[in-house]
Structure 1
């Protein structure tokens, strides 16, 4: 049966077939393309060797007798104490402070009360976990890290939100703990203010440093870090590197800060800086402030 043009529909069919695949013009070009593709895949599938350079982990330097400064001599601006302070800051960045006016009995009592913080269960800690928006509370731990943790950490500050959250998870002990930490913080702030005063008055660039330090003091308040360390920490190099990496990550919170550490029964004290890793033995009953 013949079909005349008049019997065809006025609208042609909307036939949308995909375009044909391109065909190689010759066997030789196809082989060339395969070689290029193979070379590209070989380079792209190579996993880079992500090993940190050795200079990130400088050799440990043992200090048999780190500089010890009498705080009362520093308050009276005695030249020997001031010179020792400035020299310690320039060489290793830390020193030990004695006779700084905080009773040992009060420090012991505060630390004993602070131990209750780490008795809070992991389920309740989740409500008071640190974050970029909340720079206080417990350190966040994931999965296997919880089993391999060598220390626990809690950050206290003068924040009403922290008070409300902690009273919800530790209602019986937080009020007393917070009062003691507040008193200890005030005493340590007086010590820190005197040290900063000595540094400002004896700095080479007095005006620049004074303006920068005063501006930072206005923007950043004091915080208290509480640590509970494991008694049986492995002394191998891998654990040391792990601690250094954690310290580098956590150190981005404040690029410059004056830190006062009170050791409680620690056998060693480590300080990491660009000049090296310094460490020294700490007496069991030592209540020196490591700064």
Structure 2
């Protein structure tokens, strides 16, 4: 038995480099590559196919709503009209201005007297007068506030006079009390006018939940910002006040914000901006809208740091004012319409002809 021998297999060596050209395709005209066929096919398709020219439709102008106009500036009334109750204080903007309410010189003197109060040492502001002073945590405008609670008690007078040096508080009290009293008179007249015009007030009385505060704010920056979102023991809650009154001894730009947006207007020196608080809005069932006012200023406007003056007013009780409104409506004379007068005249004429003719 003979053994068969097989030749050893040779290992396949893979060539390095690009792959070989495609195998020629046999046709009736001979052999040619697939690349040549693809080129011929592309030329045939390009010559035979008619692709229409396509174009996008012209862009139509999109309809866009025009930007909402800013709300109008608040209505201006005089002090006499407000005191007589003839002014329409129930403005839709939630605010109105009182022209010539205070002599501008008196306001400037009171503000100047308050600079000596702010000049007290930090130790005094932290320990004996911590109830009246507080730092503003706002990184934009910085500064601090002095809150003068109204009416001022005898104990508060004595504590402030003893803590502040010399006659600082006595001078401040003399100058600022005149201005604050006039602001409170405007607030009381405004509350009376609002109660006279309210249509469907809540049954609950609008009683005092927080004291009225004369807020003096010292700004160290050229940007102002409202402080209702700040925390502090002397800050009343946003819905705890009825009215807010801004006053300045110089012509000042005011930013007024309400539900309709914001607007900037000029407040003349000695005039007051009265804004309605959320407490009035809730008490009137939304008839009177709340608004927030804020003084705008630049560092070039003042030789020193700017001081704003604001009265946050809370009445003792609005139920008494409502009773007075109802009593005045009862005593108001009743007028007979022209149609009723003609009807009565015709009835009298008919009776005359029936009984006398």
CA 1:248–1:71 in 2, change beyond 3 Å: closer, same or farther?
farther
Task: Tell whether 2:153 aligns with 1:159.
Answer: yes
Once the 2 structures are TM-superposed, how far is the Cα of residue 77 of structure 1 from its aligned partner? 3.2
Unmatched 5+ residue regions in structure 2?
1-67, 275-357
In 1: Cα distance, 2:201 partner to 2:170 partner: 42
CA 1:177–1:248 in 2, change beyond 3 Å: closer, same or farther?
closer
Unmatched 5+ residue regions in structure 1?
1-59, 131-135, 235-239
CA 1:169–1:105 in 2, change beyond 3 Å: closer, same or farther?
same
Which position in structure 2 is the counterpart of 1:95?
96
CA 1:146–1:69 in 2, change beyond 3 Å: closer, same or farther?
closer
Which position in structure 2 is the counterpart of 1:252?
237
Aligned residues: 204
The structure with more strand, counted as a fraction of residues: 2
Which position in structure 2 is the counterpart of 1:68?
76
Q: Deviations over 1:132-170 (max 9, x none)?
A: xxxx411145xxx48764342110121334323322331
The structure with more helix, counted as a fraction of residues: 1
In 2: Cα distance, 1:204 partner to 1:276 partner: 22
In 2: Cα distance, 1:167 partner to 1:266 partner: 32
CA 1:248–1:161 in 2, change beyond 3 Å: closer, same or farther?
closer
In 1: Cα distance, 2:106 partner to 2:218 partner: 18
| 8 Å Cα contact 1:270/1:277 also seen in 2 | no
RMSD: 3.5
Secondary structure class of the residue paired with 2:85: coil
Q: Deviations over 1:261-290 (max 9, x none)?
A: 1034475323455x265341435x622101
Which position in structure 1 is the counterpart of 2:169?
174
In 1: Cα distance, 2:161 partner to 2:187 partner: 29
In 2: Cα distance, 1:152 partner to 1:107 partner: 20
Q: TM-score of the superposition, structure 2-length normalised?
A: 0.48
Q: Deviations over 1:218-256 (max 9, x none)?
A: x6543211122335228xxxxx6x856338994517523
Among 205, 214, 221, the residue aligned to 1:212: 205
Which position in structure 2 is the counterpart of 1:287?
270
Secondary structure class of the residue paired with 2:230: helix
In 1: Cα distance, 2:231 partner to 2:256 partner: 10
In 2: Cα distance, 1:276 partner to 1:122 partner: 42
Which position in structure 2 is the counterpart of 1:116?
116
CA 1:243–1:192 in 2, change beyond 3 Å: closer, same or farther?
closer
| 8 Å Cα contact 2:132/2:147 also seen in 1 | yes
Among 210, 214, 217, the residue aligned to 1:224: 214
Which position in structure 1 is the counterpart of 2:32?
none
Which position in structure 2 is the counterpart of 1:25?
none
In 2: Cα distance, 1:153 partner to 1:181 partner: 15
Among 266, 269, 283, the residue aligned to 2:254: 269
| 8 Å Cα contact 1:264/1:287 also seen in 2 | yes
Among 200, 213, 230, the residue aligned to 2:195: 200
Which position in structure 1 is the counterpart of 2:262?
278
CA 1:248–1:170 in 2, change beyond 3 Å: closer, same or farther?
closer
Among 73, 77, 84, the residue aligned to 2:85: 77
Q: Deviations over 1:179-224 (max 9, x none)?
A: 322222222222211111111112113583xx613x33xx654321
In 1: Cα distance, 2:106 partner to 2:270 partner: 11
Q: TM-score of the superposition, structure 1-length normalised?
A: 0.58
Which position in structure 2 is the counterpart of 1:137?
132
In 2: Cα distance, 1:148 partner to 1:264 partner: 24
User: Larger Cα Rg: Structure 1 or Structure 2?
Assistant: 2
In 1: Cα distance, 2:114 partner to 2:127 partner: 19
